[in-house]
Every structure is written in C-alpha cells, then in structure tokens.
A and B are shown apart, each in its own frame.
Chain A
C-alpha cells in the first residue's frame, strides 16, 4: 500500500527551488513597477571585491564592502528606512556604471543623487563637507571637523567618517591624519592608500 501522508510531505526540493528562484526574480521586476520596493539593492563587482549598493526613491543610500556583513547592512536598512527591502539589480544600474568608470580612472565625480537619511546632525555636516573634497585632493580630520562647525571635534569627525553610509561616493578616504599618515579606513588602510593612488593623491610608491 502506498502512503498518502508520506507522498504529500515528500519534497521534490531541487526542481521546485529553481522554479521558485526564477519566480522570485520576476517578482522584483513587478514589485519595482508597482512601487512596492522602498529599498532596492544589488551587488556590484569592483577591484576591491563585491560591493553592496542600496538605493531609495531619493537616491543612493548605502554602499558597503568587506568586512561589513551583508545581513547586518540589510537589517539596518530594514529597521531604519523600511522593511520593504528587495534585491532589484536593475534599480542599481546607474551606480554600477559610475563605479565601473571610477575604478577604471574614467570618472572623477559621482553624478547620481544621494539619500542622506542614515546620517544626521554633526555627522551629516562632516560627511557633506567630505563630499566637497575634490578628486585628487586630501583633507585632514581637523579640517572637516572645522568645516562641520567644530574644529576641536576631531574624534567625533573620525567617528562620523568611520560610519559613513556611502563610502567611495562620499570620499571619506580623502580625509587623512595631519602628520601625513592615511589613518583608518573601513576597508582597511591598504584600500585607502590604493584609492588615493588611483586618484593621484598618493605616489605609486606610497
């Protein structure tokens, strides 16, 4: 005798997984078209590994790379912006293109709009001041603190830069120590040096 209960429970897992993955991919397209996605994200390949890029209707809100864990970044976006977070690669085409050009040395400024919602107060002022440091130039922690309104708040400026939600595009790598040392960076000091070399702010030997 055949067993109905067992047959009902039997999962033909793999065939269904593939079909479900395809269906989920199509869902993203429809969800975007129906304006049901508040935070769209995608992965972007770069010379520094895979970046996570996220945008809202206002603009690019987040860029993240190793060692920031993807799960935590997405959970933070869900908590602070909206839980309607969906992987929708087509929504990130612009940042993907601009990053490609930047890492290729063909782009000096980013043109896409930014969503500053993940930062506020003094941190936001520090980051907005940082966004004005030109390609190829550097500034110091003291400078950006001063331009944000408090020249003595160097440590707070350092913290603001360390939690920059949109690194690269808001170029916190252009803020260095007064003595010439490049200082800390989320992706490590070696990545910071490499970015400054790419922009011509550091010699190849530095």
Chain B
C-alpha cells in the first residue's frame, strides 16, 4: 500500500511554529534555530520513504527531540566560549517566563524530555514514551517528577 504524503511545504507551514517552540523549550533560544534547520533537513531527507502519514506532527517532534539531544551532546564536548555572542538571536524573545524555562532546561534529561513533550509538545504519554524510549508508565512518572521539581523551583 502506498501512502499519500502531503507536499512537504504543507508540513512545514502547519508545524514550523510548534517545532520551534518545542526546540526553544529543550535547548534555549540560541540553539533552537540550528536545531530547527537540522530537524527539517533530516525530515526532508527521510520524507519520501515514510510509510505512515497518520501522525506527521509527532514524527517531526521526534526528529526535533533527537536533534536537541545531539545539540546537547555537542555542547558538552564543545568548550564553553568565554563570551557567548549569538550569531542569530530569534527575536523577539519567545520566553515570557525566563526563569521557568531555565528550570526546564536544568531538569535531568529524561524529565526534561517528558515535561516538554507532554506539556509543550502536547503529545500523549504513548508518544512521549516513544520519543524518550521506555514505557508509558516511565514517561508519566518522569513528567510528574519533572513537574514537581519545576513547582519547587518556580511556583513560590
């Protein structure tokens, strides 16, 4: 059976803002643009081979999450520059609550993934589990633990 895939541009138009927001939550404004490019280039590369067109949004967010993790790993390896001068800053700031998002990015990776995928990406726990690896139950627990940490850090 062949699947009918919409023109890639339609995907980009429909989901670009959500993907960017998801990436800003995971890696911060400064790196989100690069991750955005990497995400959609990877998606475009794989697109014609896609066998299931039912949930393209979750597929894109899964790729975005992978690119965000790659970004984190390369961040860790890369020595931190003395003064960070961003080449491109996404403006105006999409972060009305900077302290909250800082706390999100300070969460342990599994909790951060679960919280962002669930609340920013608005994905079901089943999809969160697929992105994060592990069970639905673990995804639920990680999201709950992450949320508890955020409350601790932010709500008072």
Contact = CB atoms under 8 A, between A and B. Distances in A.
B5 A23 contact: no
Interface residues of B, number: 45
B106 interface: no
Contact of A23 (B16, B122, B156): B16
Contacts, number: 115
Interface string B136-147: 000000000001
A198 interface: no
Interface stretch (B43-51, B67-75, B76-84, B127-135): B43-51
Contact of B20 (A9, A16, A83): A16
B120 A8 contact: yes
Contacts of A2: 154-155
A41 B21 CA distance: 27
A188 B147 CA distance: 61
Contacts of A154: none
Given A23-B20, A75-B7, A36 B120 contact: no
Interface in B14-54: 16-17, 19-21, 24-25, 33, 36-37, 40-41, 44-45, 47-48
A19 B154 contact: no
Determine chain B's interface SS by DSSP, over half rule.
helix
Contact of A83 (B7, B24, B37): B7
Interface string B65-107: 0000000000000000000000000111111110010001000
A16 B41 contact: no
Nearest to A2: B155
20 contacts: A5-B119, A7-B100, A8-B25, A8-B120, A10-B96, A10-B97, A16-B94, A20-B19, A27-B12, A30-B41, A36-B41, A71-B10, A75-B7, A78-B5, A78-B8, A83-B6, A83-B7, A83-B47, A84-B44, A85-B9
